[in-house]
Amino acid sequence: MTREEIEQTEWAKELKEKSSYFYEEAIQYALKRNLNVHISQTNETGETLWAIFVVDNYDFWMDAKKTKKEAVRLCRQMKWKIS
C-alpha cells in the first residue's frame, strides 16, 4: 500500500485521532512491505485486549482490539503478516 492508501484506511484515521503522537511511526511501519506483526493477549492497559505488536519492536503496538478475531481482521485488511 502507498502512504496515501494507508492514510485513507479507518485504521490510520482512528490512530491519528486517538494516538497522534504515535501516528508517524505507525505509518512508517505500515509502509514496510510484508510487515511482520505478532498478536498477543494483554491486560497491560487494565483491560484485556489483543495487541498487534511489530515483530522487530515488541514495545510498539500497531493497534489493539477487544477480540483476536478483530485483530486478525485488521492485519489482513492492512496486509500485515502475522507471525
Residue-wise pLDDT for 15-28, tens only, equals 999 988 999 999 99
What are 43-72's pLDDT values in tens digits? 988 999 999 999 989 899 999 999 999 999
> What is the C-alpha to C-alpha distance for residues 2 and 19, in angstroms, rounded to an integer?
21
- pLDDT at residue 45 in the model: 87
pLDDT at res. 44: 87
Domain spans in the chain, listed from the N-terminal domain onward:
3-82
Q: In what order do the strands lie in the sheet with 36-42?
A: 57-65, 49-54, 36-42, 81-82
Task: Give how far Cα 8 sits from Cα of 37, 51, 72, 79, Å.
Answer: 21, 22, 20, 14
pLDDT at residue 69, as a whole number: 98
Global confidence as pTM: 0.90
